[in-house]
Amino acid sequence: MGRQPMHTNPTITLPDHDEIVRRLLTVNDEPHMRKGFYPRIAAKAGATLNGRGVAFALRLAVADYMAGGPPSPMNRILEELLPAYVTVLVDDTDVRADAHAALEEARRQRE
């Protein structure tokens, strides 16, 4: 019997707080995002996550930021920015692809 390919679940360690914010600012440098939203993502600094974990952490940051109010256009804008945030935060191509796939899956489920 041949060897079965090992299924790996690659992970990354997120950068430190300041580096996360610096990278996020390359996507959108609006002051309110810098003060209100980006700290919620940067709170995950140093976390070791797989692609789904990255996507989940970003979606939780959106939910936390939007808590206390009904869904708004801002919620949709943030959700649409998540793939760009993954691109700047995740250097590993496999983890990035997994995170993008998880975000796309979540988007399809919302429709």
Q: Are 36 and 77 in contact (CB under 8 A)?
A: no
Residue-wise pLDDT tens digits, 37-84: 999 999 999 999 999 999 999 999 999 999 977 678 888 899 999 999
Q: Is residue 4 part of a domain?
A: no
Residue-wise pLDDT tens digits, 80-98: 999 999 999 999 999 999 9
Contacts of 17 (CB under 8 A, 6+ apart): 42, 43, 45
Q: Is residue 7 part of a domain?
A: no
Q: Is residue 1 part of a domain?
A: no
Give the model's pLDDT for residue 6: 46
How many domains are contained in the chain? 1
Query: CA-CA distance, 52 to 64, in Å (whole number)?
Result: 18
Q: Is residue 42 part of a domain?
A: yes
Buried b (16+ CB within 10 A) or exposed e, 43-66: ebeeeebbbbbbbbbbbebbeebb
Give the model's pLDDT for residue 7: 54
Q: Which domain holds residue 96?
A: 12-110
Q: Is residue 2 part of a domain?
A: no
Q: Is residue 6 part of a domain?
A: no
Report yes or no on whether pTM surpasses 0.95: no
